[in-house]
Structure 1
Amino acid sequence: MKRKIYIPVITALIIAAIYMYGEQLLLWMQLYASQYIVLTAIIATLFALFPIIPYPLIGGILGATFGPVLGALLTWIGSSAASIVMFIVVRYGYQDWGNKIIKRYEAIDKITTLFERNAFITIFFARLIPVIPSIIVNIYSALSRVSFVSYAIASSLGKVPAMILFAVVGNSFVTNRQDILYFGLFYLIFLLVVLLGYHLWKKQIEEKA
């Protein structure tokens, strides 16, 4: 019971701190991020976990500061780490409560069962669709019985295109805007590779069953 109280309190304190000092942190990233890569990744994680400042803006700053490759990597690390942290917090603190609500409604329970059977590909595609809020994917996955490993891999892979886009756009505005065209090609190749890999993995699992 205590953890259900402590988690919201700690979260509220962090949100308040980011709200109060968000602009200073943003300015710090613009001026000194290149000198402190690890600290920058931690700050990016906080901005992704508590998006008081839109995360695409953070990705754009990292792309402009570090270039498209390292900038995209740091943007991806921050976003992926934030999603994993939220998953762990919700699962540890609220899964029992969430399961009671899910079981209470038959329709939601059936949808959740279907979701759990195809969790990897569902989470992956949910990350690729910008209109689906990340927080909903995080919380719903944590309340379900999806394994941590499946969630972490699918979620992190699904975030790759968007995080690269943020960094590429940020970098392109200060260097070469034609890089955005290369991103489109990368996106198609990435999607095909992941789908092929998932198909082969699922086929192998079915053959062993």
Structure 2
Amino acid sequence: MPPITLWFLQASRCIRTAWLLEELAQDYEVKFSDRENGVAPAGFKKDAGGLGKFPTLRDGDTLLFESGNIAEYLCDMYDKQHKLLPAVGDPKRYQVLQWVHAAEATWALHGISILYVRWNQKDGDPKKTEQGMSKNVVNDMNYLEETLKKSGSKFLFGDEPNVADTMMHFTAVFILDRELGGVNTRDYPEIVRYITDCEATETYKKAVEKTGHKL
């Protein structure tokens, strides 16, 4: 039995953790569930423990949730050569971690807020509300587009993916796939190229094959 278990809910951020585990060449067991009526089944949430959110990861006696937290933990535990995340004290570490945390705290926050309006607004015009909320998403995606242009490399920090890419990829796909804030692939060729390069890595392909991930 592998020491690492990943609770993987379909159509979710869990692909971030699976891809990172493949990059780290770690063996892991996947406990998988489809959604029921758009949400995680109650029994699956109970089995995972913790907050009942996904991804949830158990490594020995350590139970973790929040994909950014899991990413930082896995790198600190298993990235001994600091290939995916620079060492503590190295200024580059905190440049990388900016993207790890911004993937959720900025990009996903702005995008998911719009998705919740689409799902839940009962009064007024959801399209007008979304239009008013779109500025943050557009600014986020413009910044990512320009960063990728300036990098001159395939990924955020070079021609090999690191932990920042394992976090940002899903968020970029999620926003473009649902055209949150009115953004679309035509306006972001560098982000589309970036997504393609991420998904062309052998480690990403292995993560998809092992987990059955699909958006």
**TM bin (shorter chain):** 0.3 to 0.5
TM-score where L is the length of structure 2: 0.33
**Whose Rg is larger?**
1
TM-score where L is the length of structure 1: 0.33
